[in-house]
Amino acid sequence: MMSADDAAFAALTRKISREAGLSLNSYKDKCLRRRIAVRMRACGVHTFADYQAALDASPAEYERLKDAITINVTRFYRNADTWNLLRGSFLPEVCEGFGGEVLAWSAGCSSGEEPYTLAVLLADHFDRRGRSERLGKVTVDATDIDRQCLQLARAGRYRKEALADVPADLAARYFEIDGGGCRVIERVRQRVVVRSLDLSSDPPPRRNYQLILCRNVLIYFERAAQERLLLAFVEALAPGGILVLGKVETLFGAARERLTLLDPRERVYRRTA
């Protein structure tokens, strides 16, 4: 039998899904409870029923809750080993091995540091080979559900400290420093397309990606949702395309039969079927 606390929590999540249009079924209960508790404390309430009343009293709270539920831990060149591996071993293939356009997707892009890092590395690949014009064929889709993060990503302006992990040669050539802030240079920034997308319910922005990054996002979803999302990534990849997950994430379900592990440490996979 469901406890009174569990019943109140279930009623609250149903209300949030209904009123805010936010699909919560895919999130792990523990993660969801912890993030809702953050907003409950901010509103000065102690029970799920009281928080329902707070939502009724202030509809704007739905947006604040939505922002609290989504995951926003990021910086430029985060997890440098992964970027160094991509830069040396896989981005040349992504840029040269498919012909035509270069399509990449940063799924769960947060405030944009990941997709801009990727765009910088793609620009660097072409610039070093004297083919800077090829950057015009690059599109990096950057998606998230957090409206505040999307605003930051669209603005593309960050504190100078955000460059701490970026190799000096890349920081010097691809970032503009303005006082205490920094920004990716315009010709690179223009290759990133920022849009709102709910990974738990929306389809991928397009098909035939050569590269998909979804790092440290799957861990917040239930197993069944992880399986659905991984399969969606497979379908969105071009044959031979590359998928990069977070270091603590792994494959589940049907995706295991269609992806080959290329690097076990950095969780890099190739679509083979």
Counted domains in the chain = 2
Q: Are both 57 and 162 inside the same structural domain? A: no
The residue count of the chain comes to 273
pTM: 0.78
Tens digits of residue pLDDT in 11-44: 998 988 888 777 777 677 887 888 888 888 889 8
Please provide the DSSP assignment of 191-227 as one string. TEEEEE--TTTSPPS-S-EEEEEE-S-GGGB-HHHHH
The range of the structural domain enclosing residue 120 comes to 80-271
The predicted pLDDT at position 99 comes to 79
Classified as helix, coil or strand, 22 is: coil
The predicted pLDDT at position 182 comes to 94
Q: Are both 211 and 179 inside the same structural domain? A: yes
Output the six-digit token pair for 116: 């801009």
Instruction: Report which DSSP code applies to 132.
Output: G
In a domain, 178, yes or no: yes
In a domain, 255, yes or no: yes
Q: Are both 91 and 202 inside the same structural domain? A: yes
Which of 28, 47, 69 represents a domain boundary (last residue)? 69
Q: Are both 222 and 182 inside the same structural domain? A: yes
Q: Are both 96 and 223 inside the same structural domain? A: yes
For the chain, which residues score pLDDT lower than 70?
Answer: 1, 26, 70-74
CATH number at residue 147: 3.40.50.150
In a domain, 75, yes or no: no
Q: Are both 154 and 179 inside the same structural domain? A: yes
The predicted pLDDT at position 73 comes to 54
Which of 18, 43, 69 represents a domain boundary (last residue)? 69
The predicted pLDDT at position 72 comes to 58
Q: Are both 229 and 98 inside the same structural domain? A: yes
Q: Where are the alpha helices (DSSP H) in the chain?
A: 4-20, 29-43, 48-57, 61-69, 80-85, 91-96, 113-128, 147-155, 168-174, 186-189, 223-236
CATH number at residue 55: 1.10.155
Which of 31, 47, 69 represents a domain boundary (last residue)? 69
In a domain, 163, yes or no: yes
In a domain, 74, yes or no: no
